[in-house]
Structure 1
Amino acid sequence: MTTLPHTASTHEPGVRTRHWVDPLNDGTHILIRPLEAKDRDREFAFISGLSPESRHFRFLSTIKEPSEPLMNQLMDVDYRLRMAYVALTMEGGQLIEIGVARYAAAPGDSQCESAVVVADRWQRKGLARRLMQHLIDAAKINGFEYMMSMDSSANTHMHQLAEDLGFECQTDPLDATQVVYRLKLT
């Protein structure tokens, strides 16, 4: 069993206070920072604005918009066992969410489960990679030994990203339409 360090306060450097302005492959700079309670409406609009295919790949089911219980789950971030980074950009004078990467684990687990999704028009610009690199770093800081993800075997973009980040891939033994990616963090 791995003991996870105490979550950093807002005055200590740590996963809770880190933020970055990262360049994408096309030269656009975006803000990446931890998800906060004030992002709830932004998160709802982001998920609702995804194409049906992107929502299906993210949630492995068909949803039109996130339900209240799903929103509560997505917004439940403690920066240690449940971490999320959002990618933000300015459009029309408004800060909008264009991507999110998150992990979650049960207390005492040495492995966390991760997910990443990027707004359709921001895909294939390197944003998912940037988000996942920051998420992997946070998982390491918080003492996790492994990161895993369950994804649709039809999601070729996720397969390429996982391979590029060093994840190993196996077919899900319980569902041949899904794959399980696993990354050793230590």
Structure 2
Amino acid sequence: MTRNMCDETSVNNGRPVRRWRRDAVELAALLRTWWASRHGHAPPAEDPGVETGTAPDTGASVLWRMRTTVKDEPGSLAALCIALAERHIDILSLQTHPLAQGTVDEFLLRAPGDLGAAEISESVSGAGGTGTWIERADAHDLVDAPTRILGLATRTALDRAELPLALRQLLGRCTIRSLPGGDQPARAGVPVEGALEETDTVMRLRAPEGGVITVERPYLPFTPTEFARARALVELDARLGARVPHGQDVLTLPRGNAITVRRADAGDLDAAKAMHERCSPRTLSLRYHGPMGDADRYLGHLLSPRFGRTLAVQTASGRVVGLGHLLWDGDETEIALVVEDEWQRRGIGGELLRRLVSMAREANCEHVYAVTQSSNTGMVAAMRGLGLPLDYQIEAGTLVITARLDASPVAAPLSYDHSVRD
């Protein structure tokens, strides 16, 4: 069903949000001062002599993200903050998400290293919190919410391909799927303002270019505030229209040929089809794994910024001779390459692959995978050249190579005579 959204800082179920909730961060700071006055330090405690009812603190601390629902009444948040303070847990940030019944409070916490998620949840439950969800956080979560959201909006404004990534970073671990504009039945079922399903774990938004964007997060229901933020990003994307970064790198290959590597989009469809015509059936079969007549049909999807990012390699005369794709596949990220026969074995595939992996890292992807045939020794060599941990799975001649991105590459890039960025 469709919900009426409200501003988390101004309206709560049709009435103004109470000042005590708007001042929650100041309240947390006061609690820290109160705790320091009683114990001589602010949480988290690092004095192994302090009696806490648990094992002595080793001095290590852990970041946690936590959500819990509390009653929308004065004193409920204060009780929660006191319970956390008694556990030597420091509140680094706090956001509130008003609901029709109660309020979801989202915390970034720094807790003693010997304090586990179950113990934190138990304390929160004892203070009146319900439906508590908690997971480990990292340094990226230390950026305050307004700054992070403005950064996502800026990235979306500069590059249309950023929208799925921005949504994922805005909403955390979630699955994002796009239905094409031709799927009119799906689009007809979604109102213009979007819809948050009754379970609150699925939101549907009308894509700017047609079709529907579906976002699923089964482990944690979306709040009305999150839905409003997601809808605002989609509306921003729609208002700005088609766009792609215009930067490009001009490189000289070891054999002396000059090439340009740049971002590509639907405007390169004709050039990509012309490249297909110059490719051998074997080259196309290694890339598309199906009837050769279907290769051109994939290009509209591959070049759409809604489904990922594409890099094009073109010669000095402007002819496209290679394409590299980074594709958002639900929770996964696929990487794919095709290089025209005449330009193979010149380092172009490896260059594209390194750039695509760098883009995946920037998008906070944990790993990428490539699907090819087991006989494609060129792709296997290019993946190995990344210097990353690889996993190989072979079935019926199809090879899936997965690269883990949490390790630093050890392979050096190819040597080029010069590199110029426009």
- Among 261, 267, 275, which residue is 1:32 paired with? 261
2:361 corresponds to which letter in structure 1?
K
Which string of whole-angstrom CA distances, capped at 9 and with x for unpartnered residues, describes residues 80-121 of structure 1? x50110000134xxx1100011011145x2x31010111000
1:135 offset after TM fit, Å? Answer: 1.0
Q: What's the counterpart of residue 83 of structure 1?
A: 309
1:24 offset after TM fit, Å? Answer: 1.5
Alpha-carbon contact 2:368-2:403 (below 8 Å) kept: yes
Report the more deviating stretch, 114-123 or 175-184. 175-184
- Among 305, 328, 350, which residue is 1:105 paired with? 328
1:152 offset after TM fit, Å? Answer: 0.1
- Among 39, 45, 52, which residue is 2:281 paired with? 52
1:65 offset after TM fit, Å? Answer: 6.1
2:158 corresponds to which letter in structure 1?
S
2:393 corresponds to which letter in structure 1?
T
- Shift in alpha-carbon separation, 1:65–1:150, aligned structure 2, 3 A: closer
Cα distance in 1 for partners of 2:157, 2:366 equals 20
- Among 367, 392, 400, which residue is 1:170 paired with? 392
1:134 offset after TM fit, Å? Answer: 1.2
Which string of whole-angstrom CA distances, capped at 9 and with x for unpartnered residues, describes residues 130-185 of structure 1? 1111111111112211111111001111111111123514133xx23011111122
Cα distance in 2 for partners of 1:102, 1:179 equals 18
Cα distance in 1 for partners of 2:266, 2:293 equals 22
Q: What does 1:16-165 correspond to in 2, within 5 Å?
A: 16-64=245-293, 66-67=295-296, 69-78=297-306, 82-91=308-317, 95-106=318-329, 109=331, 111-165=332-386
Alpha-carbon contact 1:103-1:113 (below 8 Å) kept: yes
Alpha-carbon contact 1:148-1:180 (below 8 Å) kept: yes
Cα distance in 2 for partners of 1:46, 1:8 equals 31
Q: So what's the TM-score if we normalise by structure 2? A: 0.38
RMSD of Structure 2 on Structure 1 (CA): 2.3
Secondary structure of 1:165's partner? Answer: coil
Secondary structure of 1:77's partner? Answer: coil
State the 4+ residue runs in structure 1 displaced beyond 6 angstroms. Answer: none
Cα distance in 2 for partners of 1:65, 1:106 equals 20
- The number of aligned residues is 170
2:354 corresponds to which letter in structure 1?
Q
Greater helix share, structure number: 2
Alpha-carbon contact 2:313-2:323 (below 8 Å) kept: yes
Q: What's the counterpart of residue 156 of structure 2?
A: 7
Secondary structure of 2:277's partner? Answer: helix
Q: So what's the TM-score if we normalise by structure 1? A: 0.81
Any gaps of 5 or more consecutive residues in structure 2?
A: 1-147, 160-243, 407-422
The structure having more radius of gyration, on CA atoms, is 2
Cα distance in 2 for partners of 1:127, 1:150 equals 18
Q: Determine whether 1:179 maps to 2:399.
A: yes
Cα distance in 2 for partners of 1:42, 1:65 equals 17
Cα distance in 2 for partners of 1:123, 1:101 equals 13
- Shift in alpha-carbon separation, 1:50–1:113, aligned structure 2, 3 A: same
Report the more deviating stretch, 123-132 or 58-67. 58-67
1:27 offset after TM fit, Å? Answer: 2.0
Cα distance in 1 for partners of 2:398, 2:326 equals 18
Cα distance in 2 for partners of 1:158, 1:100 equals 14
Cα distance in 2 for partners of 1:178, 1:157 equals 15
Q: What's the counterpart of residue 188 of structure 2?
A: none
Alpha-carbon contact 1:55-1:62 (below 8 Å) kept: no
Cα distance in 2 for partners of 1:45, 1:66 equals 12
Any gaps of 5 or more consecutive residues in structure 1?
A: none
Alpha-carbon contact 1:21-1:32 (below 8 Å) kept: yes
Cα distance in 1 for partners of 2:329, 2:284 equals 25
